C-alpha cells in the first residue's frame, strides 16, 4: 500500500472528477454519518450481542467506521472558503482520483485511518504547508 494522505483523500473524494459543490456536501454527509451513525451501530451490536461472533463483528464495524472521523474533520475544514481549491492547487485531480479510489478500500481496516491521521497530524497545521504526494 502506498501512503494514504488522509486530508488528500478527503479533498479528492470531495472534488471527484468535476468539483461539483453538491458532491462536496454529499461526501461530507457520508463521512459524518459514517463516523457517527456507523460507529454507533457497530458499538450497539458489539455491546448488546450475546455471541462472541456478533461482538467481534460489531467491534469491527465500529473500528472501521471510526476511520471516518479524521476524514470528517478534514472534509469540514476543506469546506471553508477556498481551502479545497488550495489543497488541490497544481494537482492532477484525475490521476489522484484514480490513486485514491484504489486506496480508499483500506478504510475497512479498523482504526487504520485514525492512526495515519495521528502520524500525519503536523503536516496540515497552519504554517506547515500542505504535503504533496
Burial of 41 (0-12, 13-18, 19+ CB in 10 A): middle
How confident is the model at residue 124, as a pLDDT? 61
**Grid cell 485514525 — which residue?**
114
Residue 53: which residues within 8 A CB-CB, separation 6 or more?
A: none
Please indicate, yes or no, whether the overall pTM of this predicted structure exceeds 0.85.
yes
Cα–Cα distance between 79 and 65 in angstroms, integer? 21
The tens-digit pLDDT sequence of the chain (133 residues) is: 467 899 999 999 999 988 899 999 999 999 999 999 999 999 999 999 999 999 999 999 999 999 999 999 999 999 998 999 999 999 999 999 999 988 889 999 999 999 999 999 877 654 444 444 4
Amino acid at each position: 500500500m502506498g501512503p494514504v494522505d488522509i486530508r488528500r483523500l478527503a479533498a479528492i473524494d470531495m472534488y471527484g472528477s468535476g468539483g461539483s459543490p453538491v458532491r462536496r456536501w454529499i461526501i461530507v454527509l457520508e463521512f459524518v454519518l459514517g463516523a457517527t451513525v456507523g460507529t454507533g451501530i457497530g458499538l450497539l451490536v458489539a455491546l448488546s450481542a450475546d455471541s462472541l461472533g456478533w461482538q467481534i463483528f460489531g467491534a469491527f464495524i465500529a473500528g472501521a467506521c471510526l476511520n471516518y472521523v479524521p476524514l470528517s474533520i478534514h472534509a469540514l475544514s476543506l469546506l471553508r472558503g477556498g481551502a479545497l481549491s488550495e489543497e488541490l492547487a497544481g494537482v492532477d485531480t484525475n490521476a489522484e482520483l484514480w490513486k485514491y479510489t484504489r486506496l480508499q478500500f483500506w478504510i475497512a481496516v479498523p482504526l487504520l485511518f485514525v492512526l495515519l491521521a495521528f502520524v500525519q497530524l503536523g503536516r496540515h497545521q497552519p504554517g506547515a504547508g500542505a504535503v504533496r504526494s
